[in-house]
Amino acid sequence: MSSRQSVEQVFEREFLPLRANILKIAAALDRIERSGPMDNDDLRGAQLRAGLKVLLSSEAKRAEEVQLIFSRKYHEDWKTEFKLDEK
């Protein structure tokens, strides 16, 4: 028995939530734009643009790519940085 769903089944389940999320993103971007020009040095704007670019691509690993855009770079001293080292 195959557990893989058809494209139609996935669309039936995902279309309305996806549409709602796209509308939320559009509304948030409209609010940002209405509040004034975005600072080009603001990392958050660059991350949003990069994330949207990944979403529009045809890459198979969009979720992984977007997650990496919004993730911190790995630091070996992360425990010290967050005061979690056991001393």
Tens digit of each residue's pLDDT (9 = 90 or more) over 25-79: 999 999 999 999 888 888 999 999 999 999 999 988 999 999 999 998 888 888 8
Q: What is the dihedral of CA 60, 64, 65, 71, to 10 degrees?
A: 180
The verdict on 25 and 13 lying in the same domain is yes
Cβ–Cβ contacts within 10 Å for residue 24, how many?
Answer: 10
The verdict on 84 and 69 lying in the same domain is yes
Alpha carbon distance 64, 69 (integer Å): 9
Q: Domains in the chain: how many in total?
A: 2
The verdict on 45 and 10 lying in the same domain is no
User: What pLDDT was estimated at residue 27?
Assistant: 97
The verdict on 51 and 24 lying in the same domain is no
The verdict on 82 and 48 lying in the same domain is yes
Residue 81: domain span = 41-87
Residue 87 clears pLDDT 60, i.e. is over it: no
The verdict on 30 and 18 lying in the same domain is yes
pLDDT band at 22 (very low <50, low <70, confident <90, very high): very high
